[in-house]
């Protein structure tokens, strides 16, 4: 890879602290992309950091200084495929995972847009696949264990994470070295999973698929329908009173995993709504504590 030296340099730059970070380009040449002016912008709305108009994807690395090979997690913030909630569902999460001894990578994936991409429906998945590929390509420099690379997603980012977890066998990017694009585990927080009318988040579906929403496209991106015996184990969190993304999304994914004999753990809160990030203020416990115990039980972290 042309950027191998740069990636190695980046690893050295952040090795001294989990608080340090470096943003890496995903591609030398962005696939499925039209030549447009980069209009990316950020804003703070109701205390939430949002990124908009993303056409140039990146991966921001937070690597713990453990001196040993570590697991890694690709983090996909939510935002209905219209924006990215890059703070409380991105950077804040990465810092916590790095504190647990996990190399955390926040994915700034492209937001679907006909003006900047030829096929809007596959652009986010391309970026998620490339993130998995890039981490495994550079595992030696970054001291990452290639057998413990997972994906984590919130809301629409949960849809992307579950898409990656069920569509890894079909590469949407160049993969001449046939590097595995399959996550070893997935963490889905109040995720959109299904695009079926009865369950889907309408804005998420229409933003990803555009105006021509066919039965075939709905099925293709309803990830509970693509679970197989190769789908990675999953940890899920959802609240019953989530008015944005129905609890049925997590239940459908859990049941599909169980039918295929895949380990799964779902934590359902009575209250919490949607978009609470790592802290559900209506809960008496922290779901992140439950996640940590799940990761320990699965021998992903010690």
Give the pLDDT confidence score for residue 67 in this predicted structure: 80
What's the chain's average pLDDT? 93
Q: What is the pLDDT of residues 136-184, one digit of tens each?
A: 999 999 999 999 999 999 999 999 999 999 999 999 999 999 999 999 9
Whether 8 shows a pLDDT value over 70: the answer reads no
Q: Which tokens sit at 118?
A: 């030829």
Q: Would you state the pLDDT for residue 18? A: 53
For residue 131, give every residue at least 6 positions away whose Cβ sits within 8 Å of its Cβ, in sequence order, or none: 26, 59, 74, 105, 107
Domain boundaries, the chain: 4-297
Instruction: Give the pLDDT score at 21.
Output: 82
Residue 1, pLDDT above cutoff 90? no
- pLDDT mean over 14-39: 81
For residue 19, the model assigns a pLDDT of 43
pLDDT in tens, 51-94: 999 999 999 999 998 788 999 999 999 999 999 999 999 999 99
Angle at alpha carbon of residue 106, lines to 146 and 223, rounded to 5°: 75
Q: Are 16 and 63 spatial neighbours (Cβ–Cβ below 8 Å)?
A: no
Q: Which pTM value belongs to this model?
A: 0.93
Kindly state the tokens that stand for 215. Answer: 């039965």
- Whole-number pLDDT of residue 54: 97
Contact in structure between 253 and 162 (CB atoms under 8 Å): yes
Per-residue model confidence (pLDDT) at position 177: 95
- Cβ atoms 83, 46 nearer than 8 A: no
Work out the pLDDT band at 9, boundaries 50, 70, 90. Answer: very low
Compute the distance between CA of residue 238 and CA of residue 252 in angstroms, rounded to an integer. Answer: 12
User: Could you please report the per-residue DSSP string of 171-191?
Assistant: -SS--TT------S-EEEES-
Give the pairing of strands 186-189 and 58-62: unpaired
Tell me the CATH architecture of domain 4-297. 3-Layer(aba) Sandwich (3.40)
Greater confidence (22 vs 104) lies with 104
Beta-carbon contacts of 29 under 8 Å, excluding residues fewer than 6 positions away, are none
pLDDT band at 20 (very low <50, low <70, confident <90, very high): low
Query: Is it the case that residue 3 has pLDDT exceeding 60?
Result: no
pLDDT of residue 211: 82
Q: Measured between alpha carbons, how far is 48 from 54 in angstroms, rounded to an integer?
A: 17
Q: How far, CA to CA in Å, does 136 sit from each of 6, 72, 188, 251?
A: 16, 10, 21, 31
pLDDT in tens, 204-220: 999 999 988 999 999 99
For residue 112, give the 3-state DSSP assignment.
coil
Distance between CA atoms of residues 75 and 122, nearest Å: 18
Name the phi and psi angles at 244, rounded to 5: -95, -50
The pLDDT of 245-256, averaged and rounded, is: 98
């Amino acid at each position: 890879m042309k950027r191998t030296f740069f990636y190695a340099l980046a690893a050295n730059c952040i090795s001294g602290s989990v608080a340090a970070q470096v943003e890496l380009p995903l591609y030398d040449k962005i696939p499925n992309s039209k030549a447009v002016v980069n209009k990316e912008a950020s804003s703070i709305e109701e205390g939430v950091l949002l990124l908009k108009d993303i056409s140039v994807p990146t991966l921001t690395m937070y690597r713990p200084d453990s001196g040993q090979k570590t697991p890694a997690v690709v983090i996909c913030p939510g935002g209905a495929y219209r924006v990215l909630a890059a703070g409380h569902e991105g950077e804040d999460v990465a810092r916590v995972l790095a504190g647990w001894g996990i190399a955390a990578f926040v994915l700034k994936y492209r937001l679907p847009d006909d003006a900047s991409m030829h096929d809007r429906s596959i652009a986010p998945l391309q970026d998620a696949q490339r993130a998995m590929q890039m981490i495994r390509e550079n595992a030696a420099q970054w001291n990452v264990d290639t057998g413990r690379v997972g994906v984590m997603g919130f809301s629409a980012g949960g849809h992307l994470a579950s898409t990656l977890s069920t569509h890894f066998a079909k590469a949407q990017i160049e993969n001449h070295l046939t590097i595995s694009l399959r996550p070893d585990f997935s963490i889905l927080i109040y995720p959109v999973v299904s695009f079926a009318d009865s369950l889907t988040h309408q804005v998420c579906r229409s933003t990803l698929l555009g105006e021509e929403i066919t039965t075939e496209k709905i099925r293709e991106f309803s990830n509970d329908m693509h679970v197989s015996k190769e789908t990675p184990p999953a940890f899920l969190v959802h609240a019953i009173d989530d008015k944005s993304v129905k609890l049925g999304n997590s239940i459908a994914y859990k049941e599909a995993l169980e039918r295929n004999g895949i380990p799964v753990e779902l934590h359902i809160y009575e209250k919490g709504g949607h978009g609470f990030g790592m802290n559900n203020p209506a809960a008496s416990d922290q779901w992140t504590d439950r996640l940590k115990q799940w990761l320990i039980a699965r021998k992903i972290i010690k």
